Structure 1
Amino acid sequence: MNISFEGKRILVTGAGQGIGKELVLRLSKYKAEVFALSKTKKNLDSLVAADPKIHPICVDLRDWDATRKAVENILPIDLLVNNAGVACLTPFLDATPEEFDLTFDVNVKAVLNVSQVIAKNMIERKSGGNIVNISSQAGQAALKDHAVYCASKGALNMLFKTMALELGPYNIRVNAVGPTVVMTEMGKLGWSDPQKAQDMISKIPLGRFAEVDEVVDAVVYLLSDRSSMITGVSLLVDGGFVV
């Protein structure tokens, strides 16, 4: 599939490592002008060292006003990927208010904030646009010790579907990609135990976890014009787990 994002300005949140980092590098390779947002400067420095064409933005997504200002400063944006996410893996009975607030601030509230700024500008410009959100199989299936994380991804799924409904008349598409476990640093947090990992893999028909590139491929497809009639969809990259 020959895809080019030449002439497109793309913002990726949570771009410092994992899926976000690889996505930024891929989009730059496909000739996009890429803005990489992360709260960790050393990760951004590493990213720019790998590809000097990337524009780094260092801001904490939990800071509503600072985030809004940072995003407003790089407008216009044609394509947005809300990739940033956190996972606090605690049994339901032990989950804390702090874990809940952190998880929902990053996984849900920040998506609302960043998307509002960019979508309003798209509407003002009458340009149309495209937003892709990184969700999870955890937004559609309960996972042990993932009560708060599952709840946040479930909330994200309904948020992006409502966005698709309301922004569609402005020719703004909104979709999500829902991976199974990917062995990034966040993935290792919950699944580095071999027994626990094997229990999960046994429930995946394809018999393995996802590779980072497989998730990036799905995001690139949804960002591209090859998916021009697709909106409001959560594309699972889960090897059949939810089946």
Structure 2
Amino acid sequence: MTSDFEGRTAIVTGAGKGIGRATATLLAKRGARVVAIARTRADLDSLAAETGARVIAVDLADSATARAAMEQAGPAEFLVNCAGINVLESVLDMTEEGYEAVMGINLRAALICAQAFARARIAAGGGGAIVNVTSIAGHRGFPEHLCYAASKAGLEGASRVMARELGPHGIRVNCVAPTITMTELAAAAWSDPAKSEPMMVRHPSGRFAEVDHVATAIAALLSEDSAMVSGAVLPVDGGFLAV
């Protein structure tokens, strides 16, 4: 059976590490031509060697640079907005620098990439799919995740608007909201057992997620198996939000 991704192009931001890298690798295995966008050249070079992905090294925090990267990426059928950072700050300790850094990558860059992708898809006649990677932090209040939570909840709200406005053009837009996923970013926030163990026991599955769990959920939402799914948020959380 022909894969939904065979011979089609997928742009993946944040592809150098973590969920983004796992997603780029999975889509390439399933036949997609992957365009991988990330900040660190070494990460991209190793990804290209492993998967054959075309790579673009860029810091998406700069709006003009983000737009240029999407133009360089060229036409594609799929977009996965996976680039994300976290600055651990409480309500009382929040800084403008932390706010700008988190919101600039997690929200503004995702909206710019989605806008550029949608404009290109509409010019090409429509169709395609976007998956935005959010977080259960947008649904529950975790200490020191003030700006991170705001960015992820904001991206989910924006995704519903995208689904409404882009649906008539045949473009589907969905989100995956992972629980704590074993990435370098998560390790910085959850390395302390005193913090991670109380969180672990709140998962009916009894574990945190691995990057491949999230990547396969993203692929499912991009595929034609999800042809009537748009404007949805799919938790990849081992049941955390259900209890």
TM-score by shorter chain over 0.5: yes
Aligned to 2:140: 141
Offset, 1:4: 4.0
Q: Deviations over 1:126-150 (max 9, x none)?
A: 1311000100001111111111111
Residue 177 (str. 1) matches residue 184 (str. 2): no
After alignment, is 196-205 or 174-183 more displaced? 196-205
AA at the equivalent of 1:193: D
Corresponding position: 1:189 with 2:205: no
Q: Give the 5 Å matches for 1:1-40.
A: 3-40=3-40
For 2:216 and 2:194, how far apart are their aligned partners in 1?
A: 29
How far the C-alpha of 1:67 sits from its partner, in A, is 1.7
Query: What is the rounded CA distance, in whole Å, between the counterparts of 1:2 and 1:236 in structure 2?
Result: 28
Q: Match of 1:158? A: 157
Report deviation, 1:159. 0.7
Q: Could you say what secondary structure the match of 2:59 adopts?
A: coil
Q: Could you tell me which residue of structure 2 aligns to residue 50 of structure 1?
A: 50
Q: Distance in 1 between matches of 2:99 and 2:107?
A: 11
Instruction: Establish whether residue 89 from structure 1 lines up as the match of residue 88 from structure 2.
Output: yes
The SS at the match of 2:79 is strand
Question: Whole-Å Cα distance in 1 between the matches of residues 108 and 167 of structure 2?
Answer: 21
Secondary structure class of the residue paired with 1:133: strand
Distance in 2 between the 1:152 and 1:59 partners?
20
Counting matched residue pairs gives 242
Q: Name the counterpart of 1:99.
A: 98
**TM-score, structure 2 normalization:** 0.96
Are the equivalent residues in 1 in contact too, given 2:78–2:129 (CA < 8 A)? yes
Report deviation, 1:49: 2.1
How far apart, CA to CA, are the structure 1 residues paired with 2:191 and 2:221?
30
Instruction: Please report how far the alpha carbon of residue 2 of structure 1 lies from its aligned counterpart in structure 2 after TM superposition.
Output: 7.8
Q: How big is each residue's C-alpha offset from its partner over 1:160-187, in whole Å with a ceiling of 9 and x where there is no partner?
A: 1111111011110000000000110001
**CA–CA distance in 1 between the matches of 2:182 and 2:190?**
8
Task: Establish whether residue 78 from structure 1 lines up as the match of residue 77 from structure 2.
Answer: yes
What amino acid does structure 2 have at the position aligned with 1:16?
A: G
Report the residue type matching 2:30 in the other structure. Y
> How far apart, CA to CA, are the structure 1 residues paired with 2:114 and 2:31?
23
Structural RMSD (CA): 1.3
The residue number in structure 2 matching 1:168 is 167
- Residue deviations 1:104-135 (CA, integer Å, cap 9, x gap): 00000001111111101111111311000100
Partner of 1:130: 129
Q: Secondary structure at the match of 1:80?
A: strand
SS where residue 81 of structure 1 aligns?
strand
SS of the residue aligned with 1:56? strand
CA distance in 1, matches of 2:136, 2:228: 23
Contact conserved, 2:3 with 2:31, CA < 8 A, in 1? no
Supply the distance in 1 between the matched residues of 2:129 and 2:161 (Cα, whole angstroms). 14
- The 2-side partners of 1:136 and 1:181 are apart by 8
Amino acid at match of 1:98: E
In 1, distance between residues paired with 2:41 and 2:73?
18
Unpaired runs of 5+ residues, structure 1, are none
Shift in Å at residue 234 of structure 1? 0.5
CA shift for structure 1 position 3? 4.0
In structure 2, what residue type is equivalent to 1:49? A
Deviations 1:61-85 (A, max 9, x none): 0111122112112321110000000
In the alignment, which residue of structure 2 is the partner of 1:224?
A: 223
**What does residue 41 of structure 1 align with?**
41
- Map 1:207-218 onto structure 2 (within 5 A): 207-218=206-217
